[in-house]
Amino acid sequence: MKIIIAGPGAFGIKHLDGLKNIDDADVIALVGREPERTQSVADEYGVPNVFTDLEDALRLDEADAAILCTPTQMHAAQAIQCMRAGKHVEVEIPVADSLADAEDVHRVQQETGLVCMVGHTRRYNPSHQYVHNRISAGELSIQQMDVETYFFRRTNMNAMGQPRSWTDHLLWHHAAHTVDLFQHQTGEAVVTANAIQGPKHPELNIAMDMSIQLKTTGGKILTLSLSFNNDGPLGTFFRYICDNGTFIASYDDLEDGYGNPIDVSGVDVSMNGIELQDREFIAAILEGREPKSSVANVLPCYQVLHDLETQLESS
């Protein structure tokens, strides 16, 4: 599988690290807006072709697929661009920053029949897979999920501490992880969705603090707190309160409610959620099937985000 990666930033590098462990993956091109930095990353990972324009990379006949790790605001248009060029595409979360754009991506996927997968990584982290497997086996039922997504981003920097050319978003990016995971884990649709947000940053023009509440058809509830103002432990921490135990997940790691580690090393072939996500993308292409986080499968998440945004704008 010959792959183009667009975006040599923090997440592009995470994908390069994951793909080097996959036998069926061969990264043949790297696309970035800064030629010197893009070339430096390409040299480090042995990528033979470097481009500053995605369109040029998509002209490579040998390329089968593209992975988009570009700014959120470019995701939908670039995903469509890849499929129109005959390439399968994996686009990092979120697939779009509006429901209408997400639906456009889905429409083009239906027209082309190509694999279009969204990087909803929480579906692939071994910690969350462990909980999902026990739910599927009838051993657990979620009563409540309490989630904290905390970062310290009062300036426009990425996860590597480098200046960003775009603005991140608590709702359309960070909440998307949890809203999708909540529906995926419960297997139920969201019927009640509430949100409030704090003041917007005077320069970034985004809310720096947000609180979200969801309820499913079966009465399961979610409380999600998000902040770019948190000066402390960073990341996302998930507490699953179930009818048969409590579990605390942080990325690929899992503990019980008392902080005792749970061994999830046997859940999948890797302990790297990004690598497992990429394995699913490649497997779906090779097997001619729909991936677990296809654009069609994650659309309900974007409907909820749209409803929450509408509520926030009217309040």
Instruction: Write the DSSP assignment of 258-301 as a string of letters.
Output: TS-B---TTSSS-S-HHHHHHHHHHHHHHHT---TTBHHHHHHH
Question: What pLDDT, on the 0 to 100 scale, is given for residue 167?
Answer: 66
Q: What is the pLDDT of residues 246-258, one digit of tens each?
A: 999 999 999 999 9
- β-partners of residue 223 are 146, 213
Torsion of CA 86, 87, 90, 91, to 10 degrees: -60
Question: Taking each helix axis from N to C terminus, what angle separates 295-314 and 176-186, rounded to the nearest 10 degrees?
Answer: 120
**pLDDT at residue 168, as a whole number:** 81
> Cα–Cα distance between 172 and 313 in angstroms, integer?
14
Please give the mean pLDDT across all residues of the chain: 95
The three-state (H, E, C) secondary structure of 172-196, written as one string: HHHHHHHHHHHHHHHCCCEEEEEEE
Query: CA 151, CA 237: separation in Å to the nearest integer?
Result: 12
**What single DSSP character describes residue 233?**
S
Q: Supply 217's token pair.
A: 């058809």
Each residue of 139-151: pLDDT tens digit? 999 999 999 999 8
Measured distance CA(175)–CA(172) in Å, rounded:
6
Q: What are the Cα distances from residue 278, in Å, to 12, 14, 50, 163?
A: 12, 10, 21, 26
| pLDDT score of 158 more than 60 | no
Is the pLDDT at 164 greater than 70, yes or no?
A: no
As a whole number of angstroms, the distance between CA 172 and CA 195 comes to 13
Percent of the chain residues past pLDDT 90, beyond the cut: 90
Measured CA to CA, the distance from residue 210 to residue 199 in angstroms comes to 9
User: What is the rounded distance in angstroms from the CA atom of residue 76 to the CA atom of residue 97?
Assistant: 8
Side chain identity at 120, as an amino acid letter?
Answer: H
CA distance linking residue 242 with residue 69, whole number of Å: 34
Mean pLDDT of 32-58: 97
Say yes or no to pLDDT of 166 above 90: no
DSSP-derived letter for residue 24 is T
- Can you read off the two tokens belonging to residue 267? 């859940």
pTM for the whole thing?
A: 0.94
Q: How far apart are CA 85 and CA 105, in angstroms?
A: 14
User: pLDDT digit string (tens) for 184-213?
Assistant: 999 999 999 999 999 998 888 889 999 999
Region 169-191: what's the mean pLDDT? 97
Structure confidence at residue 155 as a pLDDT band (50, 70, 90): low
Burial of 290 (0-12, 13-18, 19+ CB in 10 A): middle
55-96 residue pLDDT tens: 999 999 999 999 999 999 999 999 999 999 999 999 999 999
Domains and CATH numbers, the chain: 2-120+274-294 (3.40.50.720), 122-269+300-314 (3.30.360.10)
- Model confidence at 157: pLDDT above 70: no
Chain centroid offset of residue 97 CA: 13
d(C-alpha 7, C-alpha 140), whole Å: 39
pLDDT digits 0-9 by tens, 105-149: 999 999 999 999 999 999 999 999 999 999 999 999 999 999 999
Instruction: Name residue, tokens 């990425």.
Output: 158
Contact 256, 248 (CB under 8 A): yes
